[in-house]
Amino acid sequence: MSFNSFGRILRYTSWGESHGLSIGCVIDGVPPLIAISKEEIQQDIERRRSALSRHTSQRKERDRVEILSGVFEGKTTGTPIALEIINEDARSKDYANIAKVYRPGHADYVTERKYGIRDWRGGGRASARETVMRVAAGAIARKILGEKVVIRAALSQIGKIKVDEKRWSWEDCHVDNLFCPDKETLTLWQKNLDEARRKGVSLGGRIKAQACGIPVGWGAPLYGKLDADLAAAMMGINAVKAIEIGAGFGVVERDGLENADEMLEGSGGEKKYSSEPQFVTNNAGGIIGGISTGQDISFSLAVKPTSSIRKSLRTIDVDGKASTVETLGRHDPCVAIRAVPIVEAMLALVLADHKLLHRAQCG
């Protein structure tokens, strides 16, 4: 049984390892006649790429994507789209010291116990290197969604330093590749990241994301809930440990009156409704009963500190004996930074799949 695929109608399957010859994916179920170019996909990939600043991994991969199938004369053909990126800067020797020991916080131990073998070169299949293909596929998903749907994400916290919501600006999210929505907080983050790198440790982060322009009706009750699929996709991103949709854990401290998203009479509705309601609040995060409400879909994620740190940690070796390990190589001081475009890509893939599902059932 393989668990390298997700999606129902829009089906994504990835392959490859961190230090293999290449990585790639196949996206099946893409409707025909959608205009897409290699340059459009590359544009999204550039936002995730390493070594763009001193605050990310210095592994220098160009990440040049190639379209192998499914696109002809600039348009999708309705057949599977295959994408590939060659690994150019893998340094497997940096990981020789962990071939016989397990790194705390990594999937080394559980992978070897499950399969009886593991690729210790950079984590192999468990490496976040695979996520570059999700970003590539997400670029295609955005084309399926169309220009009316706007997907965006930003960092709202690194370590103990949070963004002041009063100064939040989506337009500032691309400064210095830290995806920070507040220029004042950006300076503090840079200082903290530099200090963490000097100490050989790492920091966690929180990502805030939203999708605007989603119509009412995407998702289905019980086992096709939009929020359930969204949560599963986000928890499938490396290092993500929690997700809050809408008000999230804040609903615990509210009563039913405070948490209700009251509706007011609206105007300009479509189909059989004379008017679409105006919601007073959006505590549900744009999804109720597993179905989109027409409001912005909003959520946030908690990303743990990068597990690869230059500090000696207690562990065991492959024979179960006590040992210590220090992770060498080139690693992000805060993996949440490069996770921002990955979150956007996964959100796009989930929404595109649900758009096609809704069209299949409801026309």
Please state the φ and ψ torsions of residue 24, each to the nearest 5 degrees: -165, 180
The pTM is what? 0.92
State how far Cα 135 lies from the chain centre: 8
Under 8 Å between Cβ of 169 and 181? yes
Under 8 Å between Cβ of 306 and 103? no
CA distance 49 to 56: 9
Please tell me the predicted confidence (pLDDT) of residue 98. Answer: 84
Residue 214, in any domain of the structure: yes
Question: How far is the CA of 41 from the CAs of 48, 50, 295, in angstroms?
Answer: 12, 16, 28
Partners of residue 301 on adjacent β-strands: 207, 243
Owning domain of residue 16: 5-246+284-362
Residue 278, in any domain of the structure: no
Under 8 Å between Cβ of 203 and 296? no
Q: Tokens 């490496």 — which residue?
A: 127
CA distance 155 to 173: 8
Residue 339, in any domain of the structure: yes
58-102 tens-digit pLDDT:
556 789 999 999 999 999 999 999 999 999 876 677 777 788 999
Parts of the chain with a pLDDT under 70: 1-2, 50-60, 90-91, 174-176, 267-275, 329-330
Residue 260, in any domain of the structure: no
Report the first-to-last Cα separation within the chain, whole angstroms. 33
Please tell me the predicted confidence (pLDDT) of residue 284. Answer: 97
Residue 257, in any domain of the structure: no
State how far Cα 249 lies from the chain centre: 21
Give the sheet arrangement for strand 205-212, strand by strand.
161-162, 150-158, 205-212, 297-303, 240-245
Residue 199's CATH number: 3.60.150.10
Residue 273, in any domain of the structure: no
Q: Identify each DSSP E strand in 176-296 by its residue range.
A: 205-212, 240-245, 263-264, 278-279, 287-288, 291-292
Q: How many domains does the chain have?
A: 1
Please tell me the predicted confidence (pLDDT) of residue 49. Answer: 76
